[in-house]
Amino acid sequence: MKSLKKINSAFISVWQKDSLEKIVQAIDRLDIQIYSTGGTAGFIEKMNIPVTRVESVTGYPSILGGRVKTLHPKIFGGILARRDNRQDLEELGKYDIPPVDLVIADLYPFEETLAGGAPHEEIIEKIDIGGISLIRAAAKNFNDVLIIPSRNHYPELIDILEREKGETTLEQRRRMAGEAFRVSSQYDTAINNYFTGIAEEESFSVSFHHGHKLRYGENPHQSAFYYGSSRLPFNQIHGKEISYNNLLDIDAAMGLISEFGETSFAVLKHNNACGLASRDTLKQAWIDALAGDPVSAFGGVLITNREVDGETAEEINKLFFEVIISPGYSKESLSLLKQKKNRIILVHDNIELPNQLIRTVPGGILVQERDTKTESEADLKVVTRISPGKDEISDLIFANKIVKHSKSNAIVVAKDKQLLGSGVGQTSRIDALKQAIDKARDAGFDSTEAVMASDAFFPFADSVEIAHKAGITAVIQPGGSVKDQQSIDYCNTSKMKMVFTGIRHFKH
């Protein structure tokens, strides 16, 4: 079998005509026979370049409103015929089927149409049938045929046409066949997800068009890639390349800040909040967020839901941090924040977090819905004799939002819409509570009349007892322990307030 193949004929059928002109001109210069369909044929004809329309090959016109154009043995026979198979060649001659050496395709824009909010009927019409069949047929017969499965692959074809004079190697054809099946897989996955949703009980499939190699993974000895949309949901305006760990922290930060409508600032380290405050001004929100744990804030990720002004930036600039995320920055603030060349400065668009979370486990993957439940005052059930006051309810909801986004086991202590201390990722709830109280004390806070939030129920009354001794007066927790009454009784005896939400917020 000869590895080097000369392109003598090409079949072109593309949706997007951008950059096609240069391709067609290069093909014409090599006297390659061109076959084409519909709008693509019309585009080539306007260039005054010879083209044979598919109808003249098949003897059939385009029918059903353009749904059927290329699906014919005279087209697919020419693509799938094995050049080293005598019977295949004899059948090409017998049925007057022209062989095809190159297929150029660009599929109907199904995903773009879907993303644009088009009606169902229009989305269905953007499911490509002929194009995807051309791609798969040409890729299957890569021994003899070169497939160009999208306009993103035009540069390589130009190189083959201009530098190699239309000759291809087996290695080139095989590699492009792999690209073709990748395009096909992604396209079919998008269609499948439209009809069934990203995850269902019997099957799971997901595919992304763009892959980007990161500097390294969680540690320098681990390789890592980012797969997703061509652009992240934020714009980087300054700093070094975003790392694997940066992306994890950014994801956690965006999820956390999306809970808050008031002017708020948060500081995160290793996916957990180490400082957060809501205030009337952004500068004060920053000062009070930093006060929550100024030691952990060093090298952290900062996020706010308001534009950063110069006065606030002047305070922020006193701290070494890795990343800052904001809806915008004043000119004065950017001139200050850009003083550190490696500092990553991001502008986030409207925060749209994925609906599904995916993790690998031995033998497969886990897929779950994102925890989108955020409790409001209406969700709180007072279980003690004394009800929390208005300010305490506000603080309880504030603390509950933070504990929801903290690694389990987690406890958050807060007062006046400021995070005083948190205990995260502990193997026992008691340890998480002790850590939160110690953090608050080390930061110089008085936890008297503070509130406490827990991501899960208290199995015994010991947690509320420790909280009471630290001066905490109100507690929010899911409830659900068989010994809930012990905690309620202790709160009643100690004149503490407790509310149940009925919603657990484990995060592992």
Point out the residues that are catalytic. Answer: 140, 270
Nearest to 135 by CA among 211, 188, 205: 188
CA dist., res. 323 & res. 356, Å (int): 25
CA dist., res. 384 & res. 498, Å (int): 6
> Helix or strand or coil: residue 10?
strand
> Helix or strand or coil: residue 281?
coil
> Helix or strand or coil: residue 279?
coil
Residue with tokens 């004929």: 9
Instruction: Please state at what angle helix 170-196 crosses helix 154-162, rounded to 10 degrees.
Output: 160
Q: Is the dihedral of CA 264, 267, 272, 276 positive or negative?
A: negative
What is the Cα 470 distance to its own chain's centre?
42
CA dist., res. 316 & res. 187, Å (int): 45
CA dist., res. 397 & res. 110, Å (int): 42
Q: Is the dihedral of CA 166, 171, 174, 180 positive or negative?
A: negative
Whether omega for the bond prior to residue 342 falls within 30 degrees of 0, making it cis, is no
Strand partners of residue 63: 68
CA dist., res. 305 & res. 328, Å (int): 9
